[in-house]
C-alpha cells in the first residue's frame, strides 16, 4: 500500500466501466493508476479521480499495474473547469507534463506543477499576466529536466554574447553569436529583448517579468519555446 498526493493530468477509458489515470505525484513522480469500476455512478473513487483534481491518493502494486484504493479530492480546481480559456490552458499544460516527464521523482517539479495550476485557477491571472507564467513554467520545467539552455555565451564558440544578429539553436541548446549562426541552418532568430526574458525566467526573476509587457502574439518566443520542447521530447522519446 502506498500513499501520496498528486494531480490527475490524463485519463483514458478501459473496457466498460474502468479507466486508467496518469497522475503526477509528490513522492513517486508520474505514475499510471488503474481505477476499477470508476465509471459506475456509485463508484467509491469517482469523486476524487477526475482530471485536474489535486488529490490524496492511496494505491497498491498489482501484478501488472498500480490500482487506486482511495482518492480524496483536496482541490478540484473548479474555476479552471468552468472557464473555457483556462481549461484549454490546463489541457495544453497536461500534454506538456505527460509528454516531457518520464519517471522523474522530483519535488521541485511537483511544486512547480501545483503552482501553475493555482495560477491558472486564480481569477487575477489571465491574458498577458497568465502568459508570462506559462512561459516560466515551460522553461523552468526544461531546466529541471536537465535542459538548461546557454544564454550568456555562444553555444558554439563560447564567446560572451553581445548585441547583434543572434539566433537560438534548439539542437545545440543555446544562443549562437552572429559569426556562428551559420553552424545551425535551423536556428531561430532571437531578439535581445526575448533573450533577456529567457534570462529572467531561468534566473527566477518572475517579479520583474510581471512588470514587463510581453505581447501575447510574441511569435518568436513561442516558436523557440515550442521547437525547444519538441527537441527535448524527441531526445527523451529516444531514451525509452
For CA atoms 142, 145, 151, 157, the dihedral sign is negative
Q: What is the dihedral of CA 148, 150, 152, 153, to 10 degrees?
A: 150
CA distance 37 to 35: 6
Cβ-contact 175, 150 below 8 angstroms: yes
List C-alpha distances in Å: 145 to 101, 142, 233. 8, 5, 11
Looking at residue 175, its pLDDT comes to 97
Q: What is the dihedral of CA 16, 17, 23, 27, to 10 degrees?
A: -130
Kindly report, residue by residue over 180-226, the tens digit of the pLDDT.
988 899 999 999 989 998 998 888 766 666 666 565 557 898 899 99
Looking at residue 240, its pLDDT comes to 40
CA distance 123 to 121: 6
Ordered by where they begin, the domains of the chain are 2-75 (2.40.50.140), 78-147+214-237 (no CATH)
Looking at residue 217, its pLDDT comes to 56
Q: Count CB-CB contacts under 10 A for residue 189.
A: 13
Looking at residue 35, its pLDDT comes to 93
Q: Name residues of the chain where pLDDT drops below 70.
A: 205-217, 236-240
Q: Which runs of consecutive H residues, i.e. helices, occur in 122-218?
A: 127-144, 192-202, 206-209
Query: What number of helices (H) and strands (E) belong to the chain?
Result: 7, 8
Looking at residue 236, its pLDDT comes to 64
Give this prediction's pTM: 0.87
Looking at residue 239, its pLDDT comes to 44
Looking at residue 43, its pLDDT comes to 87
CA distance 10 to 97: 10
Looking at residue 171, its pLDDT comes to 94
Amino acid at each position: 500500500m502506498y500513499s501520496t498526493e498528486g494531480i490527475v493530468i490524463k485519463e483514458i477509458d478501459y473496457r466498460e466501466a474502468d479507466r486508467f489515470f496518469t497522475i503526477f505525484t509528490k513522492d513517486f513522480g508520474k505514475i499510471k493508476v488503474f481505477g476499477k469500476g470508476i465509471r459506475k455512478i456509485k463508484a467509491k473513487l469517482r469523486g476524487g479521480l477526475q482530471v485536474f483534481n489535486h488529490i490524496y491518493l492511496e494505491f497498491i502494486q498489482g501484478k501488472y499495474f498500480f490500482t487506486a484504493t482511495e482518492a480524496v479530492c483536496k482541490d478540484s480546481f473548479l474555476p479552471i473547469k468552468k472557464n473555457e480559456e483556462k481549461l484549454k490552458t490546463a489541457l495544453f499544460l497536461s500534454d506538456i507534463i505527460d509528454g516531457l516527464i518520464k519517471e522523474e521523482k522530483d519535488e521541485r517539479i511537483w511544486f512547480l506543477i501545483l503552482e501553475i495550476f493555482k495560477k491558472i485557477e486564480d481569477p487575477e491571472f489571465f491574458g498577458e499576466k497568465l502568459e508570462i507564467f506559462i512561459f516560466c513554467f515551460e522553461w523552468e520545467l526544461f531546466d529541471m529536466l536537465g535542459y538548461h539552455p546557454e544564454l550568456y555565451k555562444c553555444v558554439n564558440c563560447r564567446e560572451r554574447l553581445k548585441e547583434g544578429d543572434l539566433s537560438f539553436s534548439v539542437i545545440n541548446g543555446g544562443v549562437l553569436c552572429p559569426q556562428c549562426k551559420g553552424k545551425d541552418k535551423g536556428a531561430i532568430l532571437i531578439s535581445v529583448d526575448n533573450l533577456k526574458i529567457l534570462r529572467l525566467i531561468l534566473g527566477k526573476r518572475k517579479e520583474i517579468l510581471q512588470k514587463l509587457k510581453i505581447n501575447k502574439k510574441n511569435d518568436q518566443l513561442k516558436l523557440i519555446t515550442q521547437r525547444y520542447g519538441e527537441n527535448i521530447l524527441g531526445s527523451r522519446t529516444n531514451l525509452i
